[in-house]
Structure 1
Amino acid sequence: MRSKISIYISLILSILLLYSSFTYFMASAKPEEIVLKVITRHGADILLAARKNFLKSDLAKKYNIRDVRFLPVGEPLWVDTIRSAGDIDVAWGGGPVLFDRLYVEGLLAPLKGEMIEKVMAKIPNEIMGSPMKRINKSDVYWVAAAISSFGFTINKDYLRHYGLPEPDEWIDLANETYAATLPQPSVGCADATKSTSNTRMYQIILQRYGWERGWIVITLMAANSRIYDQSGLVRDAVIRGDIGVGITIDFYGYTAQLESEACKYIVPSDGSIVNGDPIALLKTSKHPEAAKAFIAWVLSAEGQKIWLNPKINRLPSNAEVFDTPEGKEREDLRQAYLRTLNASVIEFSDELAMSYQYSMQWFFHATLVRPQEKLQRAWMELVNSKEKLTPERFRELVDILADPLKFKFTDPRTGEEVCFSQEYAQSINEEIFNNVDFRNDMVRIWKEAAEKRYEAVLQALSE
C-alpha cells in the first residue's frame, strides 16, 4: 500500500514539476511589455493626445509597448537628467538649440532602419533655410516633428481701448508708445531661462538687429512688459485682455484666435524664422527599436494628427497630414502652414545662437527680470521727460539704460572691468552652462551692475 502511495506521490510531483517548467517556459517566452520613457518640453495637452492615440496604434501593439511615460523637465536640466537616469528612450520638443546641445554632448543616437528612414524621407531637410534635420555624414540625429514661426499675439480690444497701434515689427515693442500704460504693462514676454520659445525670439532679435542694437530692443521691450515665468502665461494674458501684445510661438497665437475674436497672430515684417521642433532617439534607450517605432509614429500622417487638435494647433512637419480626412477639416491650419512657408525670414545661424545661448539667457534674467521694477521706473521717467530733453540726450540716456557695450562690470575670473559684448558672452557660455557657482556669481554681479545703470539714469533725470 505504501508502495502505491509513494508511486502516486512521485507521479503527482512529476506532473507538478512538469507543469511548473512549462509555465515558466511560457512566461519566459512571453514578449516583454515595454514602457517608453520620453523627456519632453511639450505641454500636457500634447502628451495626453500622443499617449492615447499611439497606444491604440498598430506600431504600439507590434512592439508590445504598454505605456509611454513622459518626463517634463526644464531645459537647463536635460543633460544631467538624461545622464543620471540612464534609461530615457526619446527626447521630444524643446527646439533645435536644445537638441544640438544633446548632440554635442554625445547623447543622441542616429536614426537608422527601414521603418524610420521611410517616414523621415517625407520630412524636408530644411524649410526656408532652417534645418529640419541634424545630419552628420548621412546620419540623422534629430528630425523636426513640427514647425513653428515666432511673432506676436495681440488683443485688438485692448489696443483699441488704450489707443495703441498694432505692432508690425519686433522693434515696435521697444518703442515708448507702449510705455504709455506703465506702470501697468501693455506688452508681455517670458523669462529667457524659463522659455525656449521666448529664448528663440530674443535670438532672432539679436541676429536681425545685431548684438548691440538687439540688446537695446530687448531691454526696452522688457521695460514695456510684464515678464512671465512661462510662455503659455503670456498667451493666456493676451486672451484675457490683461495685456495688448504678447510675444509668442505661432501655435499659441492660433489657439488664441480660436478662443477669442479679439486676438490675432502676427508674423513680424522685420523677420522671423521657421523653426523645426525636434524628436530624437537617445543613446541611453534600453528599447531602441520600440523608441524608433514611437518616433516613426509621431512623424507619420497618423501621428501628425495630434497637431490638428483645436486646443493644440501646431503646424506639422509632414504635410501629408493635410490629405487625411481630419486634415481636410483644418483648412485654416493648412493656410497658416502655407503663410509660414512664405513668411519674411531672416538669415539665422543656429551655431551663432548656440555659441552664446546660456550667457544670453542668464544675462536676461539677471538684468531684466530680477531688477525689472527699477528698469521700468527708469524707463517711465525717461519717456515722461522726453519732451524736455534734446534728441541727442534722450538717445544717450537710452544707451546708458540698455546698450550692452556700455554695461560695465568686473569679471570674477580676472578682476578686470569688461562689458557684455558678444565675444565676452561666447567666452563664458560653456562655464555658465557647466558651473552653477560661476553662473550664480555672474547673475549676482550682473544684477548689481544693472541696478546701478538704472539708478544712473534716474539720477541724470533728477539733475
Structure 2
Amino acid sequence: MSEFESGRNTRTILLAVVVIVVVVAGGIIGFLFLGGQGPTDTTTDTEPSGDRITILTRHDVAIHNVFEPLFLESDFAQDNGITDILWKTPSAEFWDDLIDRGEIDVAWGGGPTIFDQLMRDERLATLDSELMQEVAGRVPDQIAGANMKRNDTSGDLKWMAAAISTFGFTVNHQFLDEYELPTPNKWTDLADATYGSLLPTIPTIAMGNAPDTTSNTRIYEIITQGLGWDTGWQTMARMAGSANIYSGSVETQAASENGDVGVSMSIDFYGYLTQYRNPDCEYIIPEGQTIVNGDPIAIPHNAPNHEYAEGFLDFVLSCEGQALWLDPSIRRMPILECAFWEPAAEDAQDLYAVYNQTVDTVGIDFNDTLSLQINAAFTRYFEAVFTQAHTELVDTWNLLVTSYLDGDISESQFESFAAMMGTPVTIVDPNTSEDEKFTAEYAVEINEQMIYDSDFASTMQSLWTAAAKAQYQDVYNQVSALLM
C-alpha cells in the first residue's frame, strides 16, 4: 500500500494492528479468542452468579452495550436466571472453529455470506420450534426484492434477518468543497479522473481491504454484479487508484468522518451514524446501484443453550428489541416497522423517513448464490491486485489522470488505458499450467481450494499481485512513451 503524505493539513490515520496473543502454558499454545478469554471476548471480570449465553458476532461494542442490559432485564432472562452475555467478536475466518467447539449459543450479524456459508456447511440449527415459527412470522419474507429469511436445500429455515442495510458511500462536504470536488451520486462517479486530481499526496476516497470487511466486500460485489464483471473491476481499479485502503470498515468510515478523505465506502448505519455525529457528512445511496441486505441472526446446530438462544432471538425480533437499533449510538435500520412506535424510538423519528426510503429502494438484481460461490477467491483477488499492488496502481493512475487533465492524452486514450489498467489479470494456474484470466467462472472453480488450501491461496495471491504490478507497469510505460 502506498503512503500518502500531505503538506495541506491532511491528517494521517494510523492503522491499528490487531495482535493475536499466544499464551504458552504447560507447552500448549492456544489462540485466546478461540479459548474464550482473549480481547475478542466482552464480559464481566468475574464469573456470573447465574446462567450465561455466548454470542458470536461481527457487531461492535456499541451494539453489545445497548442490547445486553435490556435483554438481561427481560422477563425471559429473569425467569431463566440469565445474568450475563459473553460476546465473541473474531473475524469470520474463526467462526467455524468456534462453533465446532460447541461453545456458541447465537450467531449474529456480519452479512448474508457468512451465514450462507454456515448453512452450506450444516453449522446452523433449523428454526422450527413453535416459538421460532412465531418469530419468523413477524419477519417479512422480502424487502425491496431481497430475501429476509434463508431456507436450506431441504426447505428448512436456518436464519432470519434482524436488521436491514443498504450500501453506499459517506461524503464529507467540507473536504469536497475545500478541494473543489463534485458530490458523487453513483459508483461510476468515483471512477472519474477528478477524484485522482490530488494525487500523489492526497487520496480522496477510503476503501476497506476486502478480506477485512464484509460490508465493503458487499459493495465491491454490487459493483461487479451491477456494472458487469470486467467493467466492475475496471471501475474499482480507478477508485482504488484515488483511494487509501484501510484494514476494516470502521477505519474506512472514520476517514470521511474525520475529514481525511472526501468519500468512504459505507454500510448505511455507519453512514447515518457519521451523519449524526458530523453535520458536514452525508450518507448517499447510489442511484440504482445498491441492494438491501438482511443482516442475519441464527442458532448454531450444537448450541449448548438452545432454549436461551431462542429467547434471545425472540427478544431481538420483538418490537422492543427492534427499537434498540435506533439508539443514538447505533442508528441502524430495524427490520420491523413496529420499532418506530416504541417509546425508545421517540428521538429517532428522523430515521423513519430513511426506513421508508430503504424499503422502497430499487436496486440491482443481486445474485447471493454467486456471492457465496466466489467469496474467498473474490476477496483474496481484491487484496492481491489493489492492496498489495497499491503503490504501482497509484503511480499508474496518477500518470493517467495528470496526462489527461493536462491535455497530453485524449479522452478516448485515457479511457482505453484505464480499462487496460483495471482489466482482471491473467496468470498461469499452478494446478493446470494453463493461462487463466480472473473471471467469475474461474473464481467459482477455485473458490473451494482458496478456502481449504492455504498454500494454494497464498500462491494464487502472489501470482495475482505480480501480474497486477506488471499490468500497471505496462500501462505506465505506454503512457510515458506517448509523452516523450
TM-score by length of 1: 0.90
The offset of 1:64, in angstroms, is: 2.3
> Of 295, 304, 314, which residue of structure 2 is paired with 1:277?
295
Cα displacement string for residues 360-397 of structure 1 (whole angstroms, at most 9, x for unaligned residues)? 10000011001111100110001111222244432332
The offset of 1:456, in angstroms, is: 1.0
Cα displacement string for residues 401-438 of structure 1 (whole angstroms, at most 9, x for unaligned residues)? 1011xx22111111122211111111101111111111
> Of 366, 388, 396, which residue of structure 2 is paired with 1:378?
396
* Aligned residue in 2 for 1:125: 141
2:169 paired with 1:169: no
> Of 99, 107, 113, which residue of structure 1 is paired with 2:115?
99
Q: Distance in 2 between matches of 1:99 and 1:256?
A: 27
* Aligned residue in 2 for 1:395: 415
> Of 277, 295, 301, which residue of structure 1 is paired with 2:313?
295
Letter in 2 for 1:417: D
Cα displacement string for residues 30-77 of structure 1 (whole angstroms, at most 9, x for unaligned residues)? xx9432111110001101222121111111122222211111011222
Segments of 4+ moved more than 4 angstroms = none
8 Å contact kept, 2:324–2:344 = no
Q: Distance in 2 between matches of 1:263 and 1:462?
A: 38
Q: How does 1:63-462 map to 2 (within 5 A)?
A: 63-83=80-100, 85-136=101-152, 139-183=156-200, 184-386=202-404, 387-404=407-424, 407-462=425-480
Instruction: Report SS of the residue matched to 2:107.
Output: strand
Bigger share in helix: 1
Letter in 1 for 2:395: R
| RMSD of aligned residue pairs (Cα, Å) | 1.4
Q: Distance in 2 between matches of 1:329 and 1:117?
A: 32
8 Å contact kept, 1:91–1:282 = yes
Instruction: Report SS of the residue matched to 2:207.
Output: strand
Q: Distance in 2 between matches of 1:211 and 1:328?
A: 44
The offset of 1:193, in angstroms, is: 0.3
Letter in 2 for 1:126: Q
8 Å contact kept, 2:223–2:232 = yes
> How many corresponding residue pairs?
429
Instruction: Report SS of the residue matched to 1:81.
Output: helix
Q: Distance in 1 between matches of 2:228 and 2:173?
A: 31
Q: Distance in 1 between matches of 2:359 and 2:475?
A: 43
Q: Distance in 1 between matches of 2:174 and 2:480?
A: 37
Q: Distance in 1 between matches of 2:346 and 2:85?
A: 29
Instruction: Report SS of the residue matched to 1:106.
Output: coil
Q: Distance in 1 between matches of 2:204 and 2:415?
A: 23
2:48 paired with 1:40: no
8 Å contact kept, 2:400–2:479 = yes
8 Å contact kept, 1:267–1:343 = no
8 Å contact kept, 1:116–1:293 = no
Q: Which runs of 5+ in 1 are unaligned?
A: 1-31
Letter in 1 for 2:289: G
Letter in 2 for 1:393: Q
Q: Distance in 2 between matches of 1:368 and 1:226?
A: 10
The offset of 1:462, in angstroms, is: 2.2
Q: Distance in 2 between matches of 1:89 and 1:117?
A: 18
8 Å contact kept, 2:144–2:362 = no
Letter in 1 for 2:130: E
The offset of 1:448, in angstroms, is: 0.9
Q: Distance in 1 between matches of 2:251 and 2:303?
A: 33
8 Å contact kept, 1:322–1:334 = yes
The offset of 1:249, in angstroms, is: 0.5
Letter in 2 for 1:156: H
2:71 paired with 1:54: yes
Determine which structure has more spread, i.e. the larger CA radius of gyration: 1
Q: Distance in 1 between matches of 2:289 and 2:417?
A: 28
Q: Distance in 2 between matches of 1:75 and 1:176?
A: 35
Q: Distance in 1 between matches of 2:160 and 2:175?
A: 39
* Aligned residue in 1 for 2:26: none
The offset of 1:138, in angstroms, is: 5.2
* Aligned residue in 1 for 2:19: none
Sort the Cα spacing of 1:89 and 1:240 in 2 relative to 1 into closer, same or farther, 3 A.
same
Which of 215-224 and 71-80 deviates more?
71-80
Cα displacement string for residues 152-178 of structure 1 (whole angstroms, at most 9, x for unaligned residues)? 111111111111010011111111110
Q: Distance in 2 between matches of 1:191 and 1:366?
A: 10
Name the % identity: 38
8 Å contact kept, 2:327–2:348 = no
Q: Which runs of 5+ in 2 are unaligned?
A: 1-48
